[in-house]
Amino acid sequence: MRQQRNIIGLKNIGMKYNIGFIGLGKLGEPVSEVMKQKHNVTTFDIKHVKDGSIGGWSWCVLNQDIIFIAVPTPHEEQYDGRYISSHLEPKDFDYSIVEDTLKKIDRISTENQIIVLISTVLPGTIKNKLSKLITKGTLLYNPYLIAMGTVKEDFINPEMILIGGNNTAAIIALRKFYETLCNCDRYILGTWEEIESIKIFYNTFITFKIVFCNMIQDVAMKLGNIDVDVVTEALAESTQRIISKKYMKAGMGDGGGCHPRDNIALKWLAKDLDLGYDLFGSLMHAREQQAKNMADHLTKLSKEHSLPIVIIGKSFKPEVDLEEGSSSILVSQYCTCTFDDFSKPAIFLLAHSNKEYTFPKKSVIIDPWRKHGNSIQNR
């Protein structure tokens, strides 16, 4: 954390904040209107320059407690989802408008101001590209999880409020500001990268769900005698594993006698029904590549420390002895290793971390489930 400064967060909840709001598009305009109901808000958008700016550019920065930025981070037109793009070279968002805005703000901002970026960016963008443009004030990332058509409602009653940065006082101050506006008891406070990731993966998780459900529809149409709603509603009501916190923890790959086999079989069905795409093959490729990534990491550590690799747990999960679909065995296909051998120091991969183990001295412990402290521990 950088050294904390005298941030405006000491205001009482009942007091009005002075807010600058730059960018009055589909998101910025309705959000700024909500803020105006309780605070002093000065707005600006480039589209109003010819007609006489609303408040003017400098007035959105000078003497403001918090400055919000909701300017576009567009793609080129052919990348916006309306056109076929899967064959095109992948491209990042265009950050030129954000960069220009931050540069202008930095020329006239002061040390005690909080500068809040709302615009969508990829993980790593603020640290690598944008943070260096702010030499005064504190830059926070605060994306919204809203839907077009219900922007005001979603802003007032959000699922969660995301605030990222490297200044704790500024983060707390922004949270206090939202407590004057929003009905929310779920605040996620983290680093720039963590909040960038939550925002972008939240959106893409929705895409995955929609694509997955539409894939079931494709199967139903091709195969016949299937009411797609019967299938999807049964899955939607399955709150023990599918619609729940279960499996929402990164670690080893899935396994067992069903999961990998089902995807492999559905890969065949996608081809047999001529769906024109192979979601299941992509999942299996990702699963195998993730296992290889783990093996490559183990191999690198093995070379660095001159130690052999040992995987703890050969079954597909700790409660059983079955090895069908074991992600541990899959990892072993990509590296030279043994299983469950505690006889000498080694690079130990805790595929199962539900037990306490005693390791030989000078061992390196890899715990992908993060149940035993750091993922790498020298013993």
Distance CA 48, CA 53 (A): 5
Lowest mean pLDDT among 58-62, 76-80, 331-335: 76-80
Q: What is the pLDDT of residues 232-291, one digit of tens each?
A: 999 999 999 888 877 777 788 878 766 777 778 778 888 888 989 888 788 888 889 989
The number of beta carbons lying within 10 Å of the beta carbon of residue 299 is 16
- The predicted pLDDT at position 171 comes to 98
Of residues 27 and 84, more confidently modeled: 27
- The predicted pLDDT at position 81 comes to 67
Q: What is the pLDDT of residues 106-161, one digit of tens each?
A: 999 999 999 999 999 999 999 999 999 999 999 999 999 988 888 999 999 999 99
Domain boundaries of the chain, sorted by first residue? 8-192, 283-378
User: pTM for this one?
Assistant: 0.80
- The predicted pLDDT at position 132 comes to 97
CB-based contact 354:370 (threshold 8 Å): no
Among left, alpha and beta (phi > 0; psi -120 to 50; other), residue 370 is: left
Among left, alpha and beta (phi > 0; psi -120 to 50; other), residue 349 is: beta
Tallying the residues shown for the chain, one arrives at: 379
Mean pLDDT of the chain: 87
Mean pLDDT for 91-99 is 92
- Three-state SS string over 102-155 comes to HHHHHHHCCCCCEEEECCCCCCCHHHHHHHHHCCCCEEEECCCCCCCCCHHHHH
CB-based contact 334:306 (threshold 8 Å): no
Q: What is the pLDDT of residues 171-197, one digit of tens each?
A: 999 999 999 999 999 999 999 999 999
Q: What is the pLDDT of residues 330-371, one digit of tens each?
A: 999 999 999 999 999 999 999 987 788 899 999 999 998 878
Beginning with the edge strand found earlier in the chain, give each strand of the sheet holding 309-312 in spatial order. Answer: 338-339, 309-312, 347-350, 364-366, 376-378
- CATH of 8-192, picked from 3.10.20.30, 3.40.50.300, 3.40.50.720, 1.10.390.10, is 3.40.50.720
In this structure, what token pair is assigned to residue 90?
Answer: 């992948």
